[in-house]
Amino acid sequence: MNYDALIIGGGPVGNYLASLLAGKMSVAVVERKGAFGGKACTGIIGAENYESLGLPDKAILNAFKGAFFISKTKVFEIHRQVPQAYLVDRKVLERELAKRAIKRGADYYLATNFVGFKDGKAILQHLDSRFEIKAKYYVGADGVNSKVAQEIGAKTRGEVLRGWELEVLGNFRREWVEVWVNKDINPEFFFWVAPINEEEARIGTFGDVESLAKFLKVRRINPSNVLEIKSGAVVLGWRSPWVKDNVALVGDAALHIKPTTAGGIVFGSYCARALAKAILNGNLAEYEKNCSWVKEQVKFGLRIRKVFKSLTQKEIEEIFEVLGSEDARKLIIEKADFDDHVKTAKALLRNPRLLARLIRIAPIILRTLL
């Protein structure tokens, strides 16, 4: 079998890419699983980018207009008139994107595992039979443990984190996400509480599972009200190269992941757009250049992550005091962007009063972010 493009991995990014290429060239997607969805992923996606990427409305479960930021001793809130982020159903998201691609002419091979490349062809395994596909371009959209990345000899420099996600029953304010920062419970990451509706929410963190159990106590969620438990990994850092000969990596496979939140759907989808353009122009060399926005975000996000890791809980309490002040909240409401953390941080750090207070608490901010 021959195609112009073979995409390995039918997750959100692979399916999005397939939907962009199908109809303009012959495209196939191979997906190891027999069904879409199932991955541990809260599904919080910046609303503005969700719209501008043209992701399917059908997958949206909830829309958040506000967030509570909660430390050990402080709370502040940020609220806007329009939704800032959506909570999506991953299975519906992946399936709708695949449907879009299929309607435009893409072929899907489910329950089909990519085994490796041989003589310029992809070797695939479906149940107990092996077959080959030859393509002009191959794309690894096969997630953080990418086999395609391994096959092209891509190197990884990054921090591996295990993520935990629960769906729980409780009482929630539907339009509000909660972000809890308590390093005494989890030194690795914050906790999030993302309501699906008034009585169900997705709760998660990255790090030790014990920390999540402790958080449930603090958040007063009865452990016997847990409806679902999922776990998965992310890698925060760099993987390179993204392109070797006629093979490219995209999405988690290329570590297009926001180091501050570990969200990967927006960055991966933007890079899928850049990759689609490069493939359609017949020039993979354009791809990395067209992804410069994501590169800048990852680079800066890794610096924010370094600052976060170095802070003590006492310093976090002091930073919450500053960020919860009228000045800072006004600035965040006016300027902060859910996905563009470079823009958000610049807005805060360009305010001389806020900057002076933040640097006094944690001089690492001066060394690392400016």
Ligand X SMILES: Cc1cc2nc3c(=O)[nH]c(=O)nc-3n(C[C@H](O)[C@H](O)[C@H](O)COP(=O)(O)OP(=O)(O)OC[C@H]3O[C@@H](n4cnc5c(N)ncnc54)[C@H](O)[C@@H]3O)c2cc1C
Two structure tokens written together for 322? 């500053």
In the complex, what is the shortest distance from the CB of residue 267 to ligand X, in angstroms, rounded to a whole number? Answer: 8
Stretch touching ligand X by CB under 6 A, among 139-147, 238-246, 320-328, 354-362: 139-147
Min CB(37)–ligand X separation in Å:
9
Q: Tell me: does residue 251 bind ligand X (CB under 6 A).
A: yes
Residue window 266-295: x/- pattern of binding to ligand X, with contact defined by CB under 6 A? --x---------------------------
Which of 62, 113 has the CB closer to ligand X? 113
Q: Which stretch binds ligand X (CB under 6 A): 52-60, 66-74, 264-272, 346-354?
A: 264-272
User: Is 85 one of the binding residues for ligand X (CB under 6 A)?
Assistant: no
Under the binding rule (CB under 6 A), the answer on residue 122 touching ligand X is no
- Tell me if 106 contacts ligand X by CB under 6 A: no
Residue 143 within binding range of ligand X, rule CB under 6 A = yes
Q: Give min distance, CB of 321 to ligand X, in A.
A: 28
Which residue of 3, 6, 14, 71 would you call a contact of ligand X, by CB under 6 A? 14
Binding residue for ligand X, selected from 20, 98, 163, 186, defined by CB under 6 A = 163
Minimum CB–partner distance for residue 351 and ligand X (Å):
29
201 touches ligand X (CB under 6 A): no
Q: Does 142 bind ligand X (CB under 6 A)?
A: yes
Which parts of this chain interact with ligand X (CB under 6 A)?
8-14, 30-33, 39-45, 113-114, 141-143, 147, 163, 165, 204, 232, 234, 251-253, 257, 262-265, 268
